[in-house]
Structure 1
């Protein structure tokens, strides 16, 4: 089975040499046999065909996913002796910078930080293959199979072309095809015209800062947001904007980008589809004396922007932009930074924590980093009634000490406004 990479996948894959890796870490209490882990990974590959895919280029230099036998194209497992609680953060940072060789191995691997009582596992994906939702779906399957090798995880009907994810009536609509193709060609022309100085910012050291909120504060945030009529996502977005402003002052941009899970708008893409296509909205805080009234206005802005998102039109338009791929990637890579960070809230992770053969101690929020511009990203998720944060950045964009201050400011602002 094979299919050509869509525009977004090609952009994330880049030249195939620069890593763009997503890491999903989790911690268990108990013992796992190595052969059971390998069998679980093999069964997951049998369900998800694209987890066996290599990438090959055709005669006109266009990349294609091409599936292989799971038995001959296995997920690699790197085992590290566990020394202390900080190992998983250090190994996450290491995994960001290890490129995948898509000609020799799957775009998915595992690092196992192995201890006598506790172990951490890092699921590492190339972002062109997999987004956070798909990665968490694979994590759910892995935990089930580690506990019971006979567990039924189903079989994915793999996405093989844009025809599988855009309704036929949309693809065949002359008006929609013409409109989206025209927009794509205009965007292509604009990208050819825009002058770009190809001098990349020196990223310097990449780093990960991690923290959790306690159960009481997490519950208070959920209750507070519900009572005020805005989402946790919007509330924390406003907190993040304010934290960057208070720490970085005039060096902040009052702008963050929020990924939107395309599955919420396109029912053809299922939760367990191995797929990575990002929708995005951008938020800025208005000038309000009252912070909470500002959050309510921000929620209205979010609702308006979400209502305007058309996943089908966007995918069709982007497919018309393949000729401008290099220009678009260069714009992201070499263009000036215009936002503070990307903020992503994966919400409540509804996983069981007690299995027959082990306990799931925690799921850490994923981290992701790549070569396309500002690497500053804050990801959050909630497991066991605790909000968990991963703050990813590079010293070339945000100084480590400033990032620590932003972290502390986020925590203090959350407590402050919940108490008020």
Structure 2
């Protein structure tokens, strides 16, 4: 089969690799009909995530048709259409029973390594480093899905791939980021980053009743899409984020702040941006924490910071004293996708939201390598890429 494979920093290739096979009775093999490039994939592409190996199949946003099931899988049958969440969960461990699917205690087959790096294991993830199990990803023609009697989401008739594909990651990620904020009707929610997750956070915050949503970025197409979703926007290249937030909140600051950027935060004309890039170049820190610092500074006391943006290692010069003394609540984590999918699927069916709004580019799998660059560099108005194997 054909698949997009990692061959080092800024080197993704469309290779011919062996077809996946059933390895366990709970497995299923999925013929991929649609997959996508995620902002988190760019962290691999740019070389910021440890644990990648030559030839690893990448990608964790995918869906398709079941073509084979293991003997013990009673949930799926050949021909079912499914979306596959990026977090692999067993459904049986203590964390899964609590709904904390992204920290499943059994699905990471490199648990011993994860224990040493993080203190305790996280769940296994598709196509996302050997720290999370080294599972082949979904930017491919076929994928083996472990624990396929738990993880996949069946797609009802009448819905297109484009409407449901993002149930596997970015829609529930934006949703969880907002749910973690415990939105109140008087809240102002400020969202840093108008990429795909930020776009879904904008719409989720409004669906959940926020009074005002503000989105911060500097890419014109992204800002326009956020405004179309109901947000007030701040272009940090052309105006002061601090001054505009103070103006929009009568000097109080937003009650809820969401970091939908993560480790590769960009900023202009700021000392800490230069500092972070220098520290990264010298390998003295792995992640750029500009957005996190800014959120701590501007958030209203007793407010909440929610962080869906991916961080991979170490950050420096975080004003933890301000976070503590302002009484801020910090909520983080990979997404517990299966906790949210039933509700979000219902909202799609009822017409409350059509997630396909975020798609700007649809191409064949073979064009995937060049689209990584287009997406990363925000060329051609690119906000979200869907690949068709």
TM-score bucket of the superposed structures, by smaller chain = under 0.3
TM-score between the two structures when normalised by the length of structure 2: 0.26
TM-score between the two structures when normalised by the length of structure 1: 0.25
**Which structure: larger Rg?**
1
Query: Which structure is richer in relative contact order (CA contacts within 8 A, separation 6 or more)?
Result: 1
